[in-house]
Amino acid sequence: AQSVTQPDIHITVSEGASLELRCNYSYGATPYLFWYVQSPGQGLQLLLKYFSGDTLVQGIKGFEAEFKRSQSSFNLRKPSVHWSDAAEYFCAVGKGSGGGADGLTFGKGTHLIIQP
């Protein structure tokens, strides 16, 4: 069965500093990988996705992520965070074989706190 590990429950970063959120996955085939952001009491917004091709993917709001198959990782990065980036971040994995959509398996999330 597939699984996703986000080892950091909380991360505190100063505004303007760089950010890296870690994500490791376990999956037997080529996965579809996602990063979502959730503000309190809200649904999920897709930041970026990896399906195939270039292992460095660009997303919205200045985020990027790098897929490293050898490390089974898909870490999220941002060079300079803003106070509005404070939220819960979820890494997710889905089936990547064939067409159709499958339910996603989510990590437990990382709560990002921005210090002024």
In the list 21, 25, 27, 36, the residue contacting another protein (rule: CB under 8 A) is 36
CB 44 to another protein: min, Å = 4
Written as one string, the DSSP assignment of the chain is --EEE---SEEEEETTS-EEE--EEE-SSPPEEEEEEE-TT--EEEEEEE-SS-SEEE-GGG-EEEEEGGGTEEEEEESS--GGG-EEEEEEEE--SSSS----EE---EEEEEE-
Is residue 46 within the footprint of another protein (CB under 8 A)? yes
Is residue 77 within the footprint of another protein (CB under 8 A)? no
Site size with another protein, rule: CB under 8 A: 24
Sites of contact with another protein (CB under 8 A) = 32, 34, 36, 41-46, 49, 51, 90, 94, 99-109
